């Protein structure tokens, strides 16, 4: 017999679950060792019930959260009945529905009076996972075995006993061991904090009441998604996005999404080319995250966010062995950005064919760098993914400009760049520049958010740099008639400046930077919305005064002329330009 739940109890239990997730996140921020954890916040937390179904996801990294749903089921299914109180399981393998091998996930079953009731789950991007290339992004990898350490589901704690042999095996295969060990300990702490709070909740309300509240929260999410889909006309809709040529001879590739709407149900089918011997293949768990992000960008539903959202959604990722449904031994480490963001665009575009009133522009795609070397201050090796280097702009909407410096699309605003001073303190580097890039936001009635430039120089040592990503050939997609006329500033770039001032442009590659040399990573902005000539000239003037748009772009892209003092609009000439 189902337990009735009154609205007050439901609200209190929901608040306790949300607070539990936020405490897990805070634990990671305050105890993580690497800058990826304690500055950039490249991690995500979620709570699952005993089924296991996701009952709460944090407002964290989208590329993590969608993949947690199949990964949790794969991990629980792997151990079956061999799950006990005090166990802690670790995992990163895409063959077990993980995202990519740098995103390592910890799963802690929560038992109450001998019964499995919850799972606390924490996924975080470790700064290194072994393999031939520091920080894991190997553009020369032809197969997954050349990328780093794969961790199938394995117990790090068994019935409450720490398995030092297994943990030592993992850490021995990773660079900058101290950082990796600190981050794994932070994950354990976050899972323990979640467990503590959930047990207190069960003590107060009992298993039956808490389960009834969770069932209602999942039903609530289900009702909201079904209501949205019912409002969309039945039919078949398609969206296609192009993945740019990465410069390794594979050319451009198209990813297509075909979406069928029928009543209150949605079926999403993905078509992608065959997998390739390059690190942009996406396995099933990661691709589901891309699909779900595209869906949620379109849906824009309020909380709760749990597995109930996807009861009425089915997904077909296409034949196995394709770019978005890769199988071993396909290399994959770059997949959480490329091709995930392109897949997200394809899904969002198909849905917007069904409901044009929900059209938005895309966010900038990720292109960034990782750095590694020997710290001359300590003689120790360091390695990190510089997440500050991948911060791009958000897309514009039907009512407002895109936000600056909140991308890329795969993180959707959840990523932090961290303080410049703390990065310089943590690593032997000087950051010469970190700021918004003029004219990088897509032109439109509503302008896309600006991307960023991050320029660094190594101090007293040679620094290895690994570059990855896209957005360097194809600008971010706008919407509703937005068009860019000044293309160069809209693209990402990787620029090496030699001591004599000579500049060299590079792409997805590995290189060594010496003291006196600088490397600058420039990110694209977000896409614009609507025809740029419809933008209020006074808004263009304000953008010019703020350094977001140049006078050249004001005239070329927006048809707005300024008076010589740059403080006012030349209305007569603007009228001629727009005429």
Residue by residue, DSSP assigns 125-192 as E-S---SSSTTS--TT-SSGGGT-----SEEEEETTEE-HHHHHHHHHTSSSHHHHHHHHHHHHHHHH
Residue 91 pLDDT: 97
DSSP 374-403: E-TTTS-EEEEEEGGGG--PPPP-SSSPPP
Look at residue 58 and tell me whether its pLDDT is greater than 90.
Answer: no
pTM of the model: 0.94
**How many whole angstroms separate alpha carbon 371 and alpha carbon 107?**
29
Q: What CA–CA distance (Å, rounded) separates 153 from 109?
A: 14
What are the structure tokens assigned to 68, written together? 């947690």
Share of the chain above pLDDT 90, in %: 82
Which of residues 487 and 418 earns the better pLDDT score? 487
pLDDT tens digits along 5-17: 899 999 999 999 9
> Which range, of 100-104, 418-422, 542-546, averages the lowest pLDDT?
418-422
Which structure tokens are listed for 394? 């958000």
Q: 329-363: per-residue pLDDT in tens? A: 999 999 999 999 999 999 999 999 999 988 899 99
Quote the CA–CA distance of 403 and 442 in Å, as a whole number: 12
The per-residue pLDDT for range 454-472, each reduced to its tens digit, is: 999 999 999 999 988 876 7
Residue 571 has pLDDT above 70, yes or no: yes
With beta carbons less than 8 A apart as the criterion, state whether 402 and 387 touch: no
Share of the chain above pLDDT 70, in %: 99
Domain residue ranges of the chain, discontinuous segments joined by +:
7-222, 360-533, 536-578
What mean pLDDT, rounded, does the chain reach?
Answer: 93
Res 1: pLDDT: 45
Mean pLDDT is highest, among 208-217, 363-372, 570-579, for 208-217
**Strand arrangement, sheet containing 235-243:** 235-243, 253-262, 265-271, 313-316
Cα-Cα-Cα-Cα dihedral sign, residues 306, 307, 313, 318: positive
Strand, helix or coil at 455?
Answer: strand
Quick check: 114 and 82 in contact, CB under 8 A?
no
Q: What is the pLDDT of residues 132-183, one digit of tens each?
A: 999 999 989 999 999 999 999 999 999 999 999 999 999 999 999 999 999 9
Please give the pLDDT value at position 420. Answer: 87
d(CA 83, CA 76): 8
Please state, in angstroms and rounded to a whole number, the distance separating the CA atoms of residues 443 and 187. 42
Q: What six digits make up the tokens of 351?
A: 């849905």
> What's the pLDDT score for residue 248?
72
**Residue 304 preceded by cis peptide, ω within 30:** yes
Is-contact 88 108, C-beta < 8 A?
Answer: yes
Q: What is the pLDDT of residues 475-526, one digit of tens each?
A: 899 998 999 999 999 998 899 999 988 887 777 788 999 999 999 999 999 9
Look at strands 88-91 and 103-112 and give their pairing.
antiparallel
Most confident of 58-67, 91-100, 385-394: 91-100
Report in angstroms the alpha-carbon separations of 131 from 19, 35, 148, 384, 547: 38, 21, 4, 14, 43
Q: Which of the four pLDDT bands, split at 50, 70 and 90, describes residue 37?
A: confident
Length of the chain: 579
- pLDDT attached to residue 2: 60
* Banded pLDDT at 4 (limits 50, 70, 90): confident
Residue 63: what pLDDT? 79
């Amino acid at each position: 017999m189902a337990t009735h739940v009154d609205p007050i109890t439901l609200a209190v239990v929901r608040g306790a679950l949300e607070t539990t997730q936020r405490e897990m996140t805070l634990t990671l921020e305050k105890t993580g060792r690497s800058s990826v954890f304690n500055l950039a916040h490249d991690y995500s937390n979620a709570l699952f019930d005993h089924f296991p179904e996701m009952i709460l996801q944090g407002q964290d990294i989208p590329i993590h959260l969608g993949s947690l749903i199949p990964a949790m089921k794969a991990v629980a299914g792997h151990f079956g009945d061999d799950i006990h109180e005090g166990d802690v399981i670790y995992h990163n393998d895409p063959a077990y529905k993980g995202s990519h091998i740098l995103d390592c996930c910890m799963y802690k079953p929560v038992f109450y009076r001998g019964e499995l009731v919850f799972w606390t789950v924490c996924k975080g991007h470790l700064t290194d996972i072994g393999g031939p290339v520091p920080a894991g992004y190997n553009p020369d990898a032809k197969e997954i075995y050349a990328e780093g350490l794969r961790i199938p589901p394995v117990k790090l704690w068994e019935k409450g006993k720490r398995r030092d042999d297994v943990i030592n095996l993992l850490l021995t295969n990773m660079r900058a061991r101290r950082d990796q060990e600190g981050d794994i300990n932070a994950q354990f702490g976050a899972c323990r904090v979640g467990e503590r709070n959930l047990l207190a909740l069960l003590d107060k309300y009992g298993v039956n009441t808490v389960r009834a509240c969770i069932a209602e929260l999942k039903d609530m999410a289900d009702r909201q998604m079904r209501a949205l889909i019912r409002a969309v006309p039945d039919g078949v809709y398609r969206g296609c996005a192009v993945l740019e040529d990465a410069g390794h001879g594979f050319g451009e590739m198209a990813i297509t999404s075909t979406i069928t709407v029928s009543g209150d149900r949605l079926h999403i089918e993905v078509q992608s080319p065959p997998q390739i011997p390059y690190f942009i293949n996406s396995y099933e768990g990661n691709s589901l995250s891309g699909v779900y992000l595209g869906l949620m960008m379109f849906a824009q539903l309020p909380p709760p966010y749990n597995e109930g959202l996807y009861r009425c959604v089915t997904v077909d990722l296409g034949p196995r062995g394709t770019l978005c449904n890769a199988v071993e031994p396909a290399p994959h480490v770059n997949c959480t950005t490329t091709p995930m963001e392109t897949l997200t665009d394809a899904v969002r575009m198909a849905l917007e064919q069904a409901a044009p009133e929900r059209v938005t522009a895309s966010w900038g795609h990720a292109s960034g760098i990782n750095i590694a070397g020997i710290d001359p201050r300590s003689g120790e090796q360091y390695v990190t993914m510089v997440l500050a280097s991948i911060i791009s702009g958000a897309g514009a909407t039907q009512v407002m400009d895109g936000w600056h410096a909140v991308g890329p699309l795969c993180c959707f605003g959840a990523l932090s760049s961290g303080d410049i001073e703390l990065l310089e303190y943590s690593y032997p580097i000087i950051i010469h520049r970190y700021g918004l890039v003029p004219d990088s936001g897509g032109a439109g009635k509503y302008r896309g958010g600006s991307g960023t430039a991050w320029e660094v120089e190594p101090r007293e040592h040679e620094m290895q740099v690994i570059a990855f990503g896209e957005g360097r050939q194809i600008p971010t997609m706008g919407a509703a008639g937005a068009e860019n006329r000044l293309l160069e500033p809209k693209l990402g770039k990787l620029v090496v400046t030699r001591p004599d001032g000579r500049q060299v442009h590079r792409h997805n590659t590995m290189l060594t930077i010496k003291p006196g040399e600088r490397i600058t990573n420039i990110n694209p902005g977000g896409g614009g919305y609507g025809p740029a000539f419809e933008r209020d000239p006074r808004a263009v003037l304000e953008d010019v005064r703020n350094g977001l748009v140049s006078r050249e772009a004001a005239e070329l892209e927006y048809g707005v002329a300024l008076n010589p003092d740059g403080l006012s609009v030349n209305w007569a000439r603007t009228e001629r330009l727009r005429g």
